[in-house]
Chains A and B, each alone.
Chain A
Amino acid sequence: MVSLKAEGFKNYKPYLYILPSLILIIIIYVYPLVLNVIQSFYRFSGGRGIFVGFDNYKYLILKDSLTRGAFLHNIQILLVIPILLVLSIFIAVLLSERIRFAKVYQALLYIPFIISIVVVGIVFSRLLRWDGIINFLLNKIGLGALIRDWLGDPKYALYSVMAVIIWRELAFGIVLFIAGIGNINQELYEASKIDGANWWQQLFHVTIPQLKSVISFYVIYNYMIVFAWIFTYVYVMTAGGPVNSTTILELQIFNFAFKKNMMGMASSLAILLFLMIFVFIYLQFRMRRVAMVESY
């Protein structure tokens, strides 16, 4: 009887902890999402909805070249993840060496993250202009051949946007990895030093393996950023142009909903985007559990 009671107690307690978050999520996320799923099966014209089944999805996946282009741009922007990972681990490792002014550098490097994305976009569209400071500096150091309209050239606009994303998101990575490195047991470094490991060997055989869980967190976080949070950068700096060379999935949703008045299509694309993120995170979570079970 006692054990039964204990069992029951054990079972409902966790749910009590997550209940407040679930209630809010159901009201503000799930209810609109359900409406959204329903909408995605309709086509709206003249205030009336016509049921079209999976036609919206079929159109988006098979026929719409603009959406496919936007998807490919998102995939291309995923390139920022390895770059961010390498840069932020590198700078965090340098900052964790016992050097002077480490706190000052850390504070300065964190500044980009506290500027709002809209301001970042406006400032960088000024700096990356034809007569902006980037081209001015390139000219000064004798790389005049590289001068171009960074955001106005379809070939380079997407790379410029990626550079700005890296500029801002790097700050968060650095702080995260400094915290991660701080949590590593110092004895591991002393032991490896006695074994004769040099700086690089310590980096690759002690620091990076110990940061595994932080790295996986950072990769998921950036995956979400790339698929769901870069709308503001693109909208402020290029608005998808020139010649749709920086259109991303989120911008495509925005265009369907508010420019072309195709709410059904926008809903379908939103659902597809949501599924892409959900499936990735779920698979990653399952894989990590398998890895944890195997390691014990």
Chain B
Amino acid sequence: MTPGYAVVLLAVDGLQMAVRQELSSRYCPHGKAAFLMRCLALFAVFAAAALALFLAARSTKRPSARTPLYIAAGVLLLFAIGSGALVLYGLSGCSGAAAEGLIWDWP
């Protein structure tokens, strides 16, 4: 390996390290645990609303209102599940300290 080639490799490696660091620290929350608890609470509200709609659909006397209520319950539940998965996926890329000024503050 010639010295010039080694210098280029080192520079590229350093650049890649810097980009990797940026990608894993931007838009991360200050505290993962607190952030996850807030997310859990928020999506639990959606899941509870879905459950309430599901129970309302089961107990309703009007057959015409049953299907829309079931669909609304399904939509709320899927939203909670999908958003939770999205948050977890995004959060899984955070390692190290959060970049100040580019913080993920709420879901």
- A, B in one complex: no
Residues of chain B at the chain A interface (Cβ within 8 Å): none
Residues of chain A at the chain B interface (Cβ within 8 Å): none
